[in-house]
Structure 1
Amino acid sequence: MASAMLNGAENLTLLRAIAPNPNRLGLHTSHFRLPPISRGTVSIRTARAPKCSISAPAPRPASQPRFIQHKKEAFWFYRFLSIVYDHVINPGHWTEDMRDDALEPADLNHRDLTVVDVGGGTGFTTLGIVKHVDAKNVTILDQSPHQLAKARQKEPLKECTIIEGDAEDLPFPTDSVDRYVSAGRDKPISIEYWPDPQRGIREAYRVLRLGGKACLIGPVYPTFWLSRFFADAWMLFPKEEEYIEWFEKAGFKNVQLKRIGPKWYRGVRRHGLIMGCSVSGVKASSGDSPLQLGPKAEDVSKPVNPLVFLARLILGAIAGAYYVLVPIYMWLKDQIVPKGQPI
């Protein structure tokens, strides 16, 4: 990674998430580089350099299509995918072990905490939350009624409040909740589909109480060329440094990033999606986020050309199908390649 990954970062901990008991490494430096990952281990070297203000990550090319990058496309994409998501998609991308590992930074350490699960989808991540927090204190929000219908059918979630809503415009008062969770793996409204991720993270800051914690889980941008091609055609795959910068600009302090992935993936990160991260931060000041933004990037009330919409939806679904095959491919490699060797 370029040293600009964390210029000006005040406190970042990057955790290895493949091992059962990851080691925390506290970093207090203006610049650092992450060398290539080998055998599932994150090694870190630090280097001193002149301080400079943090700069925005380079924007993705304007020509990049990202066919499922808008709320309407995501809505219909998951209208059909929700039918099989829990049984076909989740097992390869978002296992229970990964979920519980990714939720650890959220500090769900008391039954009486109030928690919002933004982009709660079918409730898979919420099932991990209610292990630690009373369901009556948990709100599931999603833009897809079809996904939420699946959540309502799950017995442990019967006492949760379930509402339709927009991650970029949350229907909660400022300073009103203890924890904000959003897992961009089983939901159509989470960060992969946010037209403006910075706005969604700003909303997370706003609704939290002083000292409250946000935990956002999502995929990472792949390094393998073919995976990059399909990622760019499908949806947003943020880079790790982008997650961190979005949190810091929104006003969060003590920002941490923890890498996550299925154990059978052996730390290989080049394909993206399956290998993701859990980013967390603490609200240090009451009130709204200090970050001011302009109008929303997307107007969902604006009419769309039905033929263009259908073409984008089909092309995006085709690109997404690649990431259904990747976990199968990696699982097979794990079965064939001797243990202890990289795959």
Structure 2
Amino acid sequence: MASAMLNGAENLTLIRAIAPNPKGLGFHASDFSGKHFPKLTSVSCGKLSMRPMKSRSPITKCSVSAPRPASQPRFIQHKKEAFWFYRFLSIVYDHVINPGHWTEDMRDDALEPADLYTRNLTVVDVGGGTGFTTLGIVKHVDAKNVTILDQSPHQLEKAKQKEPLKDCKIIEGDAEDLPFPTDFVDRYVSAGSIEYWPDPQRGIREAYRVLRLGGKACLIGPVYPTFWLSRFFADVWMLFPTEEEYIDWFQKAGFKDVQLKRIGPKWYRGVRRHGLIMGCSVTGIKPASGDSPLQLGPKAEDVSEPVNPFVFFSRFILGALAATYYVLVPIYMWIKDLITPKGQPI
């Protein structure tokens, strides 16, 4: 029964290099029929180019995910629900969640486009949580030059206990209202945080603002599923953006040379139909000093406003139940990888 529930119409794998079809799309129509194609390293959209190909051709679309509804409940997306969600999840985050969705190999692969090429770079890790991603950053950058920011003191407490991070600055803060001056850091990194932002565009605009001229933002996050059941639970739980949305948010904030690189656990064999909690790494370069050219209105959520306890509790329970589905999916994919002969689609 589990197999029947999780077998989607698309069994999409990653590709290394694609030539745009005559309609200007990054994928041919037959790519969505359930067939496999070779592995992808990265994709870019609009008038941008493909990496790492030497001969570059412009493409206009890059996503293999289904269109995401503009309005969904997403019960754990907002800050208050996310705060309490991680109040309990922080206890087992490194040992239960990361092994299924965010491995060390994935982390290093996702951080590669951030160009952490010198130990003197200044870096902010936004939504850094327990410091798992930061451990990958300090392989390349001196810890004293790295700041970890998160709204969850319980997650940050775990980060403080990690010896390689003892020289990092660790502060509580809001990804949509960063407590840093404009033109402040060389690199902005955020992994597994955007899915909880009520207003992702605002958070990416803040990434632009705090970077110095020529600085690079690297945002790592989930991708929207194509399989109907996975889409349902994704929409109930938290924000799973499409690849087009990532690109659009970066470009609207003012970033140039926007690139998207797909990532995923090895045992998924590139399958993306169920969505991935860590599914892509998006980078962009700040082309000019100063604030972002994008102007936005008031915040989507005011955490100072009182909430109805019954409504809050109901949202929290529903969201946590939906999250359970995404604990089971990687287990299912891991078992499929074990029993399906290598070289065959899963």
Q: 1:108-127 maps to which residues of 2 (within 5 A)?
A: 108-127=116-135
For 1:292-334, what per-residue CA distance to the aligned partner results, in whole angstroms no more than 9, with x for missing partners? 0001010100110001000000000000000000000000000
1:41 corresponds to which residue?
A: 39
2-structure distance, mates of 1:202, 1:39: 35
The structure-2 alpha-carbon separation of the partners of 1:146 and 1:133, relative to structure 1 and needing over 3 Å to count, comes to same
1:238 corresponds to which residue?
A: 241
1:174 corresponds to which residue?
A: 182
Q: 1:219-234 maps to which residues of 2 (within 5 A)?
A: 219-234=222-237
1:211 corresponds to which residue?
A: 214
Conservation of the 8 A alpha-carbon contact between 1:117 and 1:126: yes
2-structure distance, mates of 1:152, 1:26: 46
Conservation of the 8 A alpha-carbon contact between 1:211 and 1:283: yes
Given the alignment of the two structures, is residue 331 of structure 1 paired with residue 324 of structure 2, yes or no? no
**How far off its partner does 1:24 sit?**
6.7
Tell me the SS of whatever aligns to 2:276. coil
**How far off its partner does 1:262 sit?**
1.1
2-structure distance, mates of 1:275, 1:30: 30
**How far off its partner does 1:256 sit?**
0.2
Letter of the structure 1 residue corresponding to residue 222 of structure 2: P
Letter of the structure 2 residue corresponding to residue 129 of structure 1: I
**How far off its partner does 1:169 sit?**
0.3
Conservation of the 8 A alpha-carbon contact between 1:79 and 1:147: yes
The structure-2 alpha-carbon separation of the partners of 1:290 and 1:109, relative to structure 1 and needing over 3 Å to count, comes to same
Taking structure 2 as the reference length, what is the TM-score of the superposition?
0.85
Q: How many residues align?
A: 311
1-structure distance, mates of 2:76, 2:184: 32
**How far off its partner does 1:122 sit?**
0.2
Given the alignment of the two structures, is residue 154 of structure 1 paired with residue 162 of structure 2, yes or no? yes
Q: 1:264-303 maps to which residues of 2 (within 5 A)?
A: 264-274=267-277, 276-303=279-306
Given the alignment of the two structures, is residue 311 of structure 1 paired with residue 314 of structure 2, yes or no? yes
Letter of the structure 1 residue corresponding to residue 90 of structure 2: S
For 1:189-233, what per-residue CA distance to the aligned partner results, in whole angstroms no more than 9, with x for missing partners? x10010000000000000000000000000100001000000000
Given the alignment of the two structures, is residue 99 of structure 1 paired with residue 107 of structure 2, yes or no? yes
For 1:145-198, what per-residue CA distance to the aligned partner results, in whole angstroms no more than 9, with x for missing partners? 0000000000000000000000000011100100000001xxxxx100100000
Conservation of the 8 A alpha-carbon contact between 1:39 and 1:341: no
1-structure distance, mates of 2:278, 2:337: 15
1-structure distance, mates of 2:270, 2:340: 14
2-structure distance, mates of 1:193, 1:39: 32
2-structure distance, mates of 1:116, 1:232: 29
The structure-2 alpha-carbon separation of the partners of 1:26 and 1:293, relative to structure 1 and needing over 3 Å to count, comes to farther
Taking structure 1 as the reference length, what is the TM-score of the superposition?
0.85
Unaligned runs of 5+ in 2: 1-11, 48-58, 61-65
2-structure distance, mates of 1:24, 1:59: 25
Matching residue within 198, 201, 225 for 2:201: 198
2-structure distance, mates of 1:106, 1:208: 13
Tell me the SS of whatever aligns to 1:223. coil
Letter of the structure 2 residue corresponding to residue 288 of structure 1: D
The structure-2 alpha-carbon separation of the partners of 1:160 and 1:25, relative to structure 1 and needing over 3 Å to count, comes to farther
Given the alignment of the two structures, is residue 86 of structure 1 paired with residue 94 of structure 2, yes or no? yes
Letter of the structure 2 residue corresponding to residue 60 of structure 1: P
1:11 corresponds to which residue?
A: none
**How far off its partner does 1:41 sit?**
2.7
Conservation of the 8 A alpha-carbon contact between 2:67 and 2:242: no
2-structure distance, mates of 1:59, 1:274: 15
Q: What is the RMSD computed on CA atoms of the aligned residues?
A: 2.7
Conservation of the 8 A alpha-carbon contact between 1:71 and 1:194: yes
Letter of the structure 1 residue corresponding to residue 81 of structure 2: E
Unaligned runs of 5+ in 1: 1-15, 185-189
1-structure distance, mates of 2:267, 2:309: 42
Tell me the SS of whatever aligns to 2:36. coil
Given the alignment of the two structures, is residue 145 of structure 1 paired with residue 138 of structure 2, yes or no? no
Conservation of the 8 A alpha-carbon contact between 1:170 and 1:203: yes
